[in-house]
Amino acid sequence: MKKLTPILVTAIVMAPTLTSPQGLVPTTNQEFDVCQERPQQPDWIDNLPSRDAFRGAVIQMIYRAESYRRVIEAGGCSCETRFPDWDISIQLFNDNYLGSDRNGLRDARNEYRAQANEMRDAAKVLCEEAGNW
């Protein structure tokens, strides 16, 4: 019991810091390897209530797929092409998925993930050539 007591005390003392959400809050002062001037993801996407967080995940996946699509269509990877304004993805979400239930949102996220994965290699080649990968 003597060995267990220090471990138990440590666990109790550390528990609030281990479970504190403070370490999980994204920061807005991110430094990126490329394209420092990219549009910031809107704060509200990260701050959606947990019951609506899936909507934010769909918007993020739309953004990723749209980014790759734009790079491929442009045949080049400028920062503006690779990191478009978030309004485009938000509008696509609002036009197509705003009223969707959780299953519809899951299907949309999976669809956009598949599209992004399909386009990733082609976009990566173009972005590496431009030094923006």
Domains of the chain, residue spans: 54-133
Give the DSSP letter of residue 36: T
**How many other C-beta atoms are found inside a 10 Å radius of the C-beta of residue 83?**
21
| Average pLDDT, integer, range 10-29 | 49
pTM (two decimals): 0.77
Q: Which of 1-5, 37-41, 55-59, 89-93 has the lowest mean pLDDT?
A: 1-5
pLDDT (mean) for 36-46: 95
Quick one: DSSP state of residue 34? S
The pLDDT, as a whole number, for residue 31 is: 80
pLDDT at res. 67: 98
**Whether the predicted pLDDT of 4 surpasses 90:** no
How far from 75 is each of 36, 96, 122, 129, CA to CA, in Å? 21, 27, 10, 11
